[in-house]
């Protein structure tokens, strides 16, 4: 049965960009009662503003709301964003990890605090401009699906959403390509149709996360030894955050054959390097694993896994472990399995869930 959208109230998380603006326009055209909300997020003092909510971005979002004729509000989320997202980011780097804060933000800020606030204000849904889709099965379970544009699919950063969130989530752009979205914005007279896409790490105002860490987590950037797999000292690194697994350039080591970063060891403040043959990993262990359905599979399951947002999917076997952990064995060795990044599990277009990579092994 088709949903009666007349009078159904949806809050759209607006950023002043083209995606959330078109999302609001489409929902309005579909018969929803739409309210735009923009979040003021934490930013460093001084000129390094949070790029998600600059004064210009607020003005753009307000202009779009005016064109659409919808109410628009700005909410102050600085404190919760700093505690939940920014502190997570700096603390992870201080532990020698390479974090991706976007899934944390989507789970706890947009579809945590903002969704709770929207529902308390009598909204039925929260919508964003993410390129993803939600489907309800015949049994009543909600599924998270990839967006149809493979170049823009953002289901990876939404993998931590569960049934309670997806029941109230709308992603109007999931059925469109980015090119179509820009064309729709222009056709509707939205003044942001040609605005550049936002980048990751919105709170790193100057775009250099290492400079950001030097100001907010200086203990994470300390010189230390570069070691080979036998423990021999080959050189000195500038600080663990300057390196990531699989990196070749910038090591400053003269060797007979190219060397790559194999691992970061915060306990010794050391970087372990080795040859390309030593780089590949077939297995990993993930922690803080969540499943969209709310329950882990009862037995090992064949999946396609992504170990980074822009990584390709790789066939793998997922084995749930006690304590919200999981073991993943890939069909082929991967060169950039990085502790701190998210591993996300798929079956076709359906997102099963994911977790944070804790460790990797050759297998």
Residue 345 C-alpha from the chain's centroid: 14
Alpha-carbon span 356 to 163, nearest angstrom: 20
Q: Mean pLDDT throughout 331-351?
A: 96
Cα-based distances in Å from 318 to 20, 80, 321, 344, 354: 34, 34, 10, 10, 10
Least confident among 136-150, 162-176, 200-214: 200-214
How does DSSP assign 187-233, residue by residue? Answer: HTT-TTTTPPPP-S-TT-TTS-HHHHHHHH-GGG---EEEE-TT--E
For 340, the 3-state DSSP assignment is: coil
What is the rounded average pLDDT of the residues 312-329?
Answer: 97
pLDDT bracket for residue 90 (50, 70, 90): very high
pTM, whole model, 2 decimals?
0.92
- Nearest Cα to Cα of residue 330 among 296, 354, 357, 306: 306
Token pair, residue 219, equals 């203990």
In this predicted structure, what is the pLDDT of residue 46?
66
CA trace torsion 292, 294, 299, 300 (10° rounding) = 30
| pLDDT tens column, 111-147 | 999 999 999 989 999 999 999 999 999 999 999 999 9
The chain-wide mean pLDDT, for the chain, equals 92
Domain architecture of the chain: domains with CATH: 9-187 (3.40.50.620), 222-278 (2.30.30.280), 280-361 (2.40.30.10)
Q: Active-site residue 102, yes or no?
A: no
Residue for token digits 């979040």?
39
Q: CA 17, 127, 130, 290 torsion: positive or negative?
A: positive
User: Which pLDDT score is estimated for 200?
Assistant: 64
Catalytic residue among 52, 53, 102, 202: 202
Which residue in this structure is represented by tokens 């919508």? 127
Whether the predicted pLDDT of 49 surpasses 70: no
What is the band of 26 on the pLDDT scale with cuts at 50, 70, 90? very high
Query: Which of 313, 329, 311 is closest to 321 using CA atoms?
Result: 329
54: which strand partners? none
pLDDT of 4 reads 62
What SS3 state is found at 175?
Answer: helix
Of 52, 53, 102, 105, which residue is the catalytic one? 105
Share of the chain above pLDDT 90, in %: 79
- Is the pLDDT assigned to residue 2 strictly greater than 60? no
Q: Are 227 and 221 in contact (CB under 8 A)?
A: no
| Of 300, 313, 324, 310, nearest in space to 351 by CA | 313
pLDDT digits (tens, 9 = 90+) for 226-249: 999 999 999 999 999 999 999 999
- Locate all alpha helices (DSSP H) within the chain, ordered by sequence: 18-29, 55-68, 78-81, 87-94, 102-105, 115-120, 163-166, 178-187, 209-216, 276-279
Is-catalytic flag, 53?
no
Q: DSSP label at 325?
A: E
Across 295-330, b (16+ Cβ under 10 Å) vs e yields ebbeeebebbbbbbbebeebebebbbeeeebbbbeb
Q: Is the pLDDT of residue 1 over 50?
A: no
User: How large is the average pLDDT for residues 191-206?
Assistant: 78
Asked whether the predicted pLDDT for residue 260 surpasses 90, the reply is yes
């Amino acid at each position: 049965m088709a949903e009666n959208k007349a009078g159904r109230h949806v809050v759209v998380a607006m950023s002043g960009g083209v995606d959330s603006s078109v999302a609001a326009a489409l929902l309005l055209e579909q018969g929803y009662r739409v309210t735009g909300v923009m979040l003021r997020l934490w930013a460093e003092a001084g000129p390094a503003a949070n790029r998600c909510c600059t004064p210009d971005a607020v003005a753009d979002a307000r202009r779009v709301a005016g064109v659409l004729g919808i109410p628009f509000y700005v909410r102050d989320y600085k404190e919760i964003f700093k505690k939940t997202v920014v502190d997570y980011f700096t603390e992870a780097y201080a532990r020698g990890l390479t974090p991706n804060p976007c899934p944390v933000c989507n789970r706890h800020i947009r579809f945590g605090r903002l969704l709770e606030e929207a529902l308390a204000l009598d909204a039925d849904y929260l919508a964003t401009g993410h390129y993803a889709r939600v489907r309800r099965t015949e049994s009543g379970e909600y599924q998270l699906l990839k967006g149809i544009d493979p170049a823009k699919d953002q289901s990876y950063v939404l993998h931590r959403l569960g049934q309670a969130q997806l029941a109230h989530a709308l992603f109007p752009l999931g059925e469109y390509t980015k090119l179509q979205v820009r064309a729709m914005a222009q056709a509707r007279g939205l003044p942001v149709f040609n605005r550049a896409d936002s980048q990751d790490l919105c709170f790193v105002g100057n775009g250099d996360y290492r400079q950001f860490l030097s100001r907010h987590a200086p203990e994470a950037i300390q010189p230390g030894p570069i070691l080979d797999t036998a423990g021999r000292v080959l050189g000195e690194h500038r600080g663990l955050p300057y390196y990531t697994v699989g990196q070749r350039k910038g090591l400053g080591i003269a060797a007979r054959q190219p060397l790559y970063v194999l691992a970061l060891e915060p306990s010794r403040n050391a970087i372990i390097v080795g040859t390309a043959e030593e780089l590949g990993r077939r297995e990993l262990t993930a922690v803080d694993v969540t499943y969209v359905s709310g329950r882990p599979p009862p037995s090992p399951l064949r999946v396609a896994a992504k170990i980074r947002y822009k990584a390709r999917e790789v066939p793998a076997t997922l084995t749930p472990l006690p304590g919200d952990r999981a073991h993943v064995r890939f069909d082929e060795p991967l060169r950039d399995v990085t502790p701190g990044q998210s591993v996300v599990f798929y079956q076709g277009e359906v997102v099963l869930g994911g977790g944070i990579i804790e460790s990797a092994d050759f297998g």
